[in-house]
Amino acid sequence: MRHLAECGDEAVGIDDEVDITDAGTLREKVADVSPDAICHLAALASVGASWSDPAETYRVNTVGTVNVLSAALGCPRRPRVLMISSSEVYGRVAPGDLPLREDHPFAPVSPYAASKAAAEMAGLQAWLGSGLEVVRARPFNHTGPGQRTDFVVPALARQVAGAQVSGERVLRTGNLDPRRDICDVRDVVRAYRLLLLSGRPGEAYNVCRGESVSIRELAEGLIRLAGGELVIEVDPDRVRPVDLPDMRGDPSKLYEATSWRPEVTLETTLRDVLAHWESLSV
């Protein structure tokens, strides 16, 4: 919303008013607003939680997306729709598949991933069958100030910031070796807006940096930025069993469709997330 305002767009957020699983109310609200474009982000976004209630995950993420598409189709002047999928749809990939391109087949491992892959089918159908201009974004990992601490960068940053106050000398982490393709959320939202403007209907676009970084490098970067001397210690309770060793996307298609390039360096992202937690730890 902040980025859209900065661009001079007139943005209306309806997430506080409407539940996307309530098709009727959603349809009315969208018709009322009569938008030029819809950026559909509403979802149950926790991979972990999706395991405990798969049906609810599909009800919100898949059928909810169908409702958004129907609401768009119901507008006299049909809006473009950007739907936010996830790099999770690629799922179980082999090292030789990296960097992942958009035509890589789906191999969803979690119910969350499958619910997003399923939602993509609905988006593709709305274009092929009804001509609704639907563009799909597949963001890879991203972070920034404000992200919840069930994601790795803020979880580490909170600990590092806290240690500066408490005098704690140890940073406890999960698996250190997995590598992830991490963008700054401020770059990601720029990509979304550009895809709404010039993404090709029916197409899907990776939103990623194209390079991966290990969790160890993230932890060391945060420690260095804090000027501290924390020792990294792997906590068995935080080690997850099924981690892909590496995950990396190919952003070429996004580069070709838009002027987007990542602008925020990983160093800046880490600095800003750390500053956020330092401001809360004082």
Among 41, 45, 49, 109, binds a second copy (CB under 8 A): 109
Cβ-based nearer residue to a second copy, 112 or 260: 112
Contact present, 116 and 88 (Cβ < 8 Å):
yes
Cβ-based nearer residue to a second copy, 7 or 128: 128
Q: Is 131 in the site for a second copy (CB under 8 A)?
A: no
Cβ-based nearer residue to a second copy, 202 or 228: 202
Of 248, 150, 161, nearest to 208 (Cα)? Answer: 248
Cβ-based nearer residue to a second copy, 125 or 164: 125
Kindly state the tokens that stand for 132.
């609704």
Of 199, 58, 49, nearest to 117 (Cα)? Answer: 58
Q: Which span (111-119, 133-141, 170-178, 252-260) binds a second copy, by CB under 8 A? A: 111-119
Cβ-based nearer residue to a second copy, 106 or 255: 106
Q: Is 44 in the site for a second copy (CB under 8 A)?
A: no
Q: Is 245 in the site for a second copy (CB under 8 A)?
A: no
Q: Is 40 in the site for a second copy (CB under 8 A)?
A: no
Compute the C-alpha angle 37/87/172, nearest 5°: 120
Among 87, 110, 141, 159, binds a second copy (CB under 8 A): 110
Of 134, 16, 138, nearest to 70 (Cα)? Answer: 134
Cβ-based nearer residue to a second copy, 22 or 235: 22
Q: Is 129 in the site for a second copy (CB under 8 A)?
A: yes
Cα–Cα distance, 61 to 106 (Å, whole number): 17
Of 141, 153, 139, nearest to 191 (Cα)? Answer: 139
Q: Is 55 in the site for a second copy (CB under 8 A)?
A: yes
Question: How is 200-236 classified by DSSP, letter by letter?
Answer: PTT-EEEES-S--EEHHHHHHHHHHHTT--PEEEE-G
Q: Is 91 in the site for a second copy (CB under 8 A)?
A: yes
Task: State the sign of the Cα–Cα–Cα–Cα dihedral 68, 207, 95, 241.
Answer: negative
Contact present, 233 and 226 (Cβ < 8 Å):
no
Q: Is 170 in the site for a second copy (CB under 8 A)?
A: no
- By CB under 8 A, name the binding residues for a second copy: 23, 54-55, 58-59, 62-63, 66-67, 69-70, 91-92, 103, 105-111, 113-115, 117-119, 121-122, 124-125, 128-129
